[in-house]
Amino acid sequence: MTSHTVKRPCSFQIGTFITGKWHKNHYELRKELGFGANGIVYLAQSSKGIVAVKFSDNNATIASEVNVLKSFAKAQGDSLGPSLIDVDDYVVNGKVYPFYVMEFIKGDSLLVYLRKRGNEWLNVLSLQLLGQLEQLHQLGWVFGDLKPENLIIQWPEQRVRFIDVGGTTQQGRAIKEYTEYFDRGYWGLGGRKAEPSYDLFSLAMVMLTAAYGKRVPKAEGGLKELGERVKAKKELAVIEPVLMKAFAGKYASAREMKQELADTIHRKSSAYHRPVPVKMSRMQIRKVKGKQKKSGRMAETLFLILLVTLLYAIYMLGLIV
């Protein structure tokens, strides 16, 4: 389980120059990006540009995360996690700090991004995420610790990227690391065996959290409580069947959930934008038009619908080919 009340595992002063014991590469630590149960991550300057460097007290943590990142590198097309640049040890005063260097992913975490751009982007990002989860599952992994803080929307590509592979577990084993709120066991809705449905539950929780803009504390847990929360938010209510199926662990694969989400969004958006019936009175037409103007985000909505339709078309084409 991850927690941010833990003490820092190791920390270095900003401005410190690090030289790796084995590969002799140099890194200047510029800024702390964050820390958690498993280590501390710095933004650093290297001869190859800006990078992110993760240190840990624990050799096994570094070895296991490096192993996952190497495996992710085998995925076709999209890069799932940050690309791996270097792995080495930093020795200071006789103490050894294992570290790895990875691509620095520039962007906003999911909730910050949606706060800036609007929740209309949630479904588009979720479809993207489902595509990436599908690849990750096909490689034999389960992400495990899926939460908004571990998702960065890369700028300027606007692409969702996973960070922190500390929870990534081989399928069939027990989830290595998780955050209670996004864990199906905590909600009384399943075990912690690493299988695709584990990540799909967490993804549905991420969508719920994103729509509310925060984690709404659990009361008694269970499907009924989650269902009530879904119904209470317009953007979630339109995709209720998909979310409820994910909460109940009824999706066998990310592909299946992606298809149903794409179908649902497509159906709802075409229904919403059906032409005004001819038999309406002038008064009714004015009312409808007034409502449409009120939204004030017409252009963006239309753009999103086009985007979703395009993604849907590409997806359907993928199924046929």
Ligand X SMILES: Nc1ncnc2c1ncn2[C@@H]1O[C@H](COP(=O)(O)OP(=O)(O)OP(=O)(O)O)[C@@H](O)[C@H]1O
Give contact residues for ligand X (rule: CB under 6 A): 2, 33-39, 41, 52, 54, 82, 102-105, 149, 163-164, 166
Q: In the bound complex, what is the minimum distance in angstroms from residue 158's beta carbon to ligand X?
A: 16
Find the DSSP H helices in 48-195. 59-72, 110-117, 122-138
**Would you say 261 and 239 are in contact if contact means Cβ atoms under 8 Å apart?**
yes
Instruction: Point out the residues that are catalytic.
Output: 145
State which residue, 7 or 279, has the beta carbon closest to ligand X: 7
Q: In the bound complex, what is the minimum distance in angstroms from residue 189's beta carbon to ligand X?
A: 22
Q: In the bound complex, what is the minimum distance in angstroms from residue 9's beta carbon to ligand X?
A: 8
Dist. CA 321–CA 309, nearest whole Å: 18
CA distances from 106 to 46, 109, 159, 268 (A): 16, 10, 11, 33
Dist. CA 258–CA 254, nearest whole Å: 6
The DSSP 8-state label assigned to residue 57 in this structure reads S
**Would you say 262 and 308 are in contact if contact means Cβ atoms under 8 Å apart?**
yes
State which residue, 146 or 238, has the beta carbon closest to ligand X: 146
Q: Which residue's structure tokens are 């995925």? A: 75
State which residue, 34 or 249, has the beta carbon closest to ligand X: 34
Dist. CA 312–CA 82, nearest whole Å: 27
Distance of CA 212 to the CA centre of its chain: 16
- In the bound complex, which residue of the shown chain has the CB atom lying closest to ligand X? 36
Q: Determine the 3-state secondary structure of 41 from DSSP.
A: strand
Q: Is 268 annotated as a binding residue?
A: no
State which residue, 62 or 257, has the beta carbon closest to ligand X: 62
Task: Please enumerate, by residue number, every residue annotated as part of a binding site for ATP.
Answer: 54
